Structure 1
Amino acid sequence: MKERIGLYNHIPFCQKKCHYCDFLTFVDMEDKMDEYIDYLVKEMALYHGRYQLDTIYFGGGTPSYLAAEQMAKIMESISKHFEILPDCEISIEMNPESVTKEKVETYLKYGFNRFSMGVQSFDNATLRMMGRLHDRQKVYEKVALLKELGVEKLGIDLMFGNPKQDMAVLKHDIELAMQLPINHISYYSLMIKENTPFQRWVLTGQMRVLDDEIERKMYHYIQSELAKHGFHQYEISNFAKGEVESRHNKKYWQLENYLGLGLGASSNIDLVRFVNHRRFADYYGMIDQGKFPIQISERLSVEDREKEYIMLNLRLLEGFAFQAINQRFQINFLEKYQDVLTKHKKLGLIDYDHERIWFTEKGLDMGNQFYLDII
């Protein structure tokens, strides 16, 4: 019987690179897209007939930057080389400026049922500082288009902690977001990444990073306000209204198997974690030889996987069940980690009952010490 897994497809193209972004993405390469898709399809063929798919995810980059016919070619190839299960969750990341009626109709034709739009903020000054190509009005227009075409599961990504974003801007962002017909929000804290314009501006004093106290105040405000509007928090950065949690992303946090295709894509299959080549020439060259384009492959010990399971699952607000970890790793979790659990329950970072463990609100803010003690 074929194994049931999730499939991630990396689309490494953008119209413009944002000032905070360090993802594996490229701009001004429209003439290379067809070639890349040809090789993505060839990579799929290397896995022909192996897997059933219960989630498919398109990330990047900007997957919605692809033309409608390019996305159609990818989906037809997935259907050819994998078994797409009837209840498969098919998700795509989009940026407002690249969403068109033709593209959305193509997505719906091929079974896409979960849409996530990168909004980041509704404040135009903040958007310009971040290097985004859209403005507030463009978001409204594209959300209206998506709903008009029948999209039901629609989420947006927002970011907080930007230098131009004080509490007033944050509050206005949430106020405007709550007026949209959306049912999922991913709300991320700004991280200053290496080799980005943001890092250069911080190092040269052109930009100041918000202090931790203000950043935490913003996070707690987000949690409180979204809850008031019916969004339940199910992961550190993710909030859903109704049954629209991201099944694909939960695979990452629950350490389930997934296959990553495309340049630099990561995979997790049982005890093996592997990553594709990050250079086009290397990625193409391996596929031309009929080989999997893997650059790094690592077999983890069962003990390492156990620690990883604990850390990733505690990103989820519900934590994890003792029965699940005990069965998977053949341990008695409460006995093995008794000293760590006792210490951190006294500190107010974790809580647990006879069935499961989870982070407290304080633990979500200060969980690093718990992780260090577990390791």
Structure 2
Amino acid sequence: MAETIGLYVHIPFCQKLCHYCDFLTFEDQDDVIPQYVDYLIKEMQLYQDRDYILDTIYFGGGTPSHLEADLMAKIMDGIYATFKVTDDCEVSIEMNPESVTEEKIKTYQAKGFNRFSMGVQSFDPKVLQIMGRLHSRQTAIDKFHLLRDLGCDNVSIDLMFNNPRQDMDILNRDIDQAIELNPNHISYYSLMIKDNTNFQRWLKAGRIKLFDEKTDRDMYHNIQDRLSQAGFNQYEISSFARDGKESRHNKKYWQLENYLGVGMGASSNIDLRRFTNTRRFKDYFAAIDQGQMPVESSEMMDLEEREKEFIMLNMRLRKGFDISVINQRFGIDFKEKYKDALEKHLKYKVIQIEGDHIYFTDYGLDVGNQFYLDIL
């Protein structure tokens, strides 16, 4: 029986690694790209008998736009040859400004891409420099306008806050510029220090300092207020969108819907099974040569685990979730099962329950971790 799912495609290549990044990506392996594309298509073909229908496709990385236009076209041809794709499928690609070209955009459009997500992070030269970004403020602006000029009517930009060298004035200038560009969607993330990154090494050596938690929250609230005043709806902790321009693919993650991940390091969620591909080229190629899924780890979850995961992921959404949905999906009485946790966090105004609906309050978005711990 056919099943409608999302597809995530991992492209683990970049021109240069950023100083904060711990994603699976390589800056010195461009000679492997053509072979990787061939094996990516072979991996997808291993799922050909599953009768999947795709209603979202998302290219992440790495930097998917680092690939030459003809190779991206080849991957899309492989997708269309392997899976059924709905007429209204959301097809998204992550891009960095320095790798965006007119040829690539036109190829993307010809192959069905209809959502373009550009990693800007900041418009401030000093912040971009310490983050290790290759583009300038003007390059980001120029490439955004190029997307618009070529008819891309669903453009998202990624920004970060709580960066070294970024105070509230710089943050406000970033927001000013973002609002002036008027994208359809903005993802705004707080910097997190990851293991084995330059930022972690510099922090330990005292070369950089981070803002305290209060400043981080002040920045976040400022972002919320200013983007709301500019007409963006916050639909998830880090995501703001114009009406009708929410990321359909990302909502699959937060609503615990099924999705398949292909490519090195890609993760999948199918029913009660969660599995992740190998992170090494050698192992990835060898498994596919043997006609095997290149899966490195796999976990079968029970309904109880899935139920708690459903709560935690759905509470990332500003609208939360309908209690009747979790009751029906997992065969529980949510209000009774989690009575103590609900009463505690209603008392402290962390959560709100209105009829059949539960969601975090504004205060709850800042302190929700304790709610999760009590649920667990």
Same fold (TM over 0.5): yes
- Listed as ranges, the matches of 1:194-209 within 5 Å are 194-209=195-210
CA deviation after TM superposition for structure 1 residue 338, in Å:
1.0
Moved over 2 A (4+): none
Q: Distance in 2 between matches of 1:87 and 1:349?
A: 37
Q: Residue in 1 aligned with 2:33?
A: 33
Deviates more, 1:349-358 or 1:310-319: 349-358
Q: Deviations over 1:317-374 (max 9, x none)?
A: 0000011101100111111111110011101110102211000111100011100000
Q: Residue in 2 aligned with 1:81?
A: 82
> Does the CA-based 8 Å contact 1:160-1:170 persist in structure 2?
yes
Q: Equivalent residue of 2:282, what SS?
A: helix
Q: Distance in 1 between matches of 2:295 and 2:206?
A: 40
Q: Equivalent residue of 2:152, what SS?
A: coil
Q: Distance in 2 between matches of 1:82 and 1:189?
A: 36
* Identity %, equivalent residues: 62
Q: Distance in 2 between matches of 1:177 and 1:303?
A: 42
Deviates more, 1:152-161 or 1:172-181: 172-181
Amino acid at match of 1:39: Y
- Listed as ranges, the matches of 1:11-26 within 5 Å are 11-26=11-26
State whether structure 2 residue 335 is matched by structure 1 residue 334.
yes
State whether structure 2 residue 179 is matched by structure 1 residue 174.
no
Q: Distance in 1 between matches of 2:331 and 2:338?
A: 14
Amino acid at match of 1:150: G
- Listed as ranges, the matches of 1:103-252 within 5 Å are 103-252=104-253
Q: Residue in 2 aligned with 1:8?
A: 8
State whether structure 2 residue 69 is matched by structure 1 residue 72.
no
Q: Residue in 2 aligned with 1:43?
A: 43
Q: Distance in 1 between matches of 2:354 and 2:104?
A: 48
CA deviation after TM superposition for structure 1 residue 49, in Å:
4.1
> Does the CA-based 8 Å contact 1:49-1:82 persist in structure 2?
no
Q: Distance in 2 between matches of 1:182 and 1:343?
A: 40
Q: Distance in 2 between matches of 1:238 and 1:190?
A: 15
Q: Which runs of 5+ in 2 are unaligned?
A: none
Q: TM-score, normalised by structure 1?
A: 0.99
Q: Distance in 2 between matches of 1:30 and 1:291?
A: 25
Q: Distance in 1 between matches of 2:154 and 2:325?
A: 29
Q: Distance in 2 between matches of 1:296 and 1:29?
A: 24
Amino acid at match of 1:144: H
Q: Equivalent residue of 1:316, what SS?
A: coil
CA deviation after TM superposition for structure 1 residue 163, in Å:
1.3
> Does the CA-based 8 Å contact 1:49-1:81 persist in structure 2?
no
Q: Residue in 2 aligned with 1:304?
A: 305
Q: Equivalent residue of 1:179, what SS?
A: helix
Q: Which runs of 5+ in 1 are unaligned?
A: none
CA deviation after TM superposition for structure 1 residue 181, in Å:
3.3
Q: Distance in 1 between matches of 2:103 and 2:71?
A: 12
Q: Equivalent residue of 2:48, what SS?
A: coil
Amino acid at match of 2:13: F
Amino acid at match of 1:41: I
State whether structure 2 residue 116 is matched by structure 1 residue 91.
no
Q: TM-score, normalised by structure 2?
A: 0.99
Q: Equivalent residue of 2:292, what SS?
A: coil
Q: Distance in 2 between matches of 1:353 and 1:27?
A: 49
> Does the CA-based 8 Å contact 1:49-1:83 persist in structure 2?
no
Q: Equivalent residue of 2:325, what SS?
A: helix
Q: Deviations over 1:203-254 (max 9, x none)?
A: 0000001100000000000000000000000000000011000000000000
Q: Distance in 1 between matches of 2:136 and 2:81?
A: 39
Q: Distance in 2 between matches of 1:225 and 1:181?
A: 13
Question: What is the number of residues matched between the two proteins?
Answer: 375
Q: Equivalent residue of 2:210, what SS?
A: coil
Q: Deviations over 1:8-38 (max 9, x none)?
A: 0000000000000000000121111000001
> Does the CA-based 8 Å contact 1:54-1:84 persist in structure 2?
yes
